Amino acid sequence: MSRRRIGFWYRLAAALVKPPLVVLFKRDWRGTEHIPAEGGFITAVNHNSYLDPLSYAHFQYNTGRVPRFLAKESLFRGGFVGRVMRGTGQIPVYRDTADAAAAFRAAVEAINKGECVAFYPEGTLTRDPALWPMEGKTGAARVALLTKAPVVPVAQWGAHEAVPPYARRKRIRLFPRKTLRVLAGPPVDLSRFHGREPTAELLDEATDVIMDAVTEQLAELRGEPAPLQRWGRRAALAADRRGTAGRTGAGNTAESTTKNTGTTGGKTAARNDTAAGPAAAEGESA
């Protein structure tokens, strides 16, 4: 079993990012025992603030297992940020191009080398008005079933209080100091899907299992039960068109997912993605 060493560029990024995070925020980190000490693995993380990748990267950096994020290709073009992105081994996502599948291949290769690849399965900041995880894309499930790597569900909470998602005015609220909460849970059991043809229906079902686990961790962090319905991607697109993340009502089944968040029984249309990660759509990265 192998693990990736923390190289110069990751240490440099940590030296620049960790001090302000330590000074400006309190921390509540739990579940580090679930981060594998050796071997390749996947983390599936919820997403409710632009600060999430930095908060989560800080959490996992301290375990000695640095994550590789997927981020939009434009962040890798020149400049200091681009150099750091390349130097730390982040994975560029080429949207709507002939190279769109390159991120999927890179993620598989990284895991086979014993590295960690972090996915934000929602592919963007949540549009759920209460900031619960939305329906996920199938990228994490695709990679997990191909590599049989463990998938560790990770929940984050608190960063949105400092950097609210989709705020019309990007007002950062640092004081009083907010608490960045991160909880990693035990690996998701996907063994029932191994050895089966990766049809769209099977990938959707495996994705639901992953999102259920992420939601369960978030419910524990928040100290409240998750809603019975998961905010669907059709609803998110509708919210984008309206320019709001508001829900029209709990019974709005025309746009919301009809399956319970605690089960994987419902069926939806196949999600249209190849390797959705943290910001395949928006490009956040650590």
Given a cut of 70, is residue 205 above it in pLDDT?
yes
Q: Which tokens belong to 107? A: 């993620």
Q: DSSP code of 286?
A: -
pTM, entire model: 0.81
What strand order describes the sheet that includes 116-119?
A: 25-30, 178-184, 151-157, 41-45, 116-119, 67-72, 91-93
CA gap 247, 238 in Å, rounded: 10
Q: Does residue 260 register a pLDDT over 90?
A: no
Q: What residues have CB less than 8 Å from 94, skipping those under 6 apart?
A: 73, 100, 102, 103
| Interval 54-107: pLDDT, tens | 999 999 999 999 999 988 888 888 788 888 888 888 998 887 776 778 899 999
Q: Which residue type, as a one-letter code, is found at position 266?
A: G
Given a cut of 60, whether residue 254 has pLDDT beyond it is no
d(CA 18, CA 89) in angstroms, rounded, equals 19
Question: Per residue in 108-158, pLDDT tens?
Answer: 999 999 999 999 999 889 999 999 999 999 999 999 999 999 999 999 999
Picking from 117, 109, 183, 105, the residue whose alpha carbon sits closest to that of residue 150 is 117
What structural domains and CATH numbers belong to the chain?
Answer: 8-242 (3.40.1130.10)
What secondary structure does DSSP assign to 102-135, as a single string? Answer: HHHHHHHHHHHTT-EEEE-TTSSS---TT----P
> 25 pairs with which residues across the strands?
178
**CA distance linking residue 285 with residue 53, whole number of Å:** 6
The answer to whether the beta carbons of residues 117 and 67 sit under 8 Å apart is yes
- Given a contact cutoff of 8 angstroms between Cβ atoms, the answer to whether 210 and 164 are in contact is no
Residue 17 has φ and ψ, to the nearest 5°, of: -95, -40
Residue closest to 60 by CA, chosen among 102, 94, 17, 106: 17
> Is pLDDT of 266 > 50?
no
Q: Which two tokens stand for residue 271?
A: 């999600």
DSSP per-residue codes, 137-190: PSHHHHHHHHH---EEEEEEESHHHHS-TT-SS------SPEEEEEEE-PPP--
pLDDT of residue 201: 96
Split at pLDDT 50, 70, 90, the class of 235 is low
| Per-position b or e across 41-61, b if 16+ CB within 10 A of its CB | bbbbbbbbbbbbbbbbbbbbb
pLDDT tier at 173, thresholds 50, 70, 90: confident
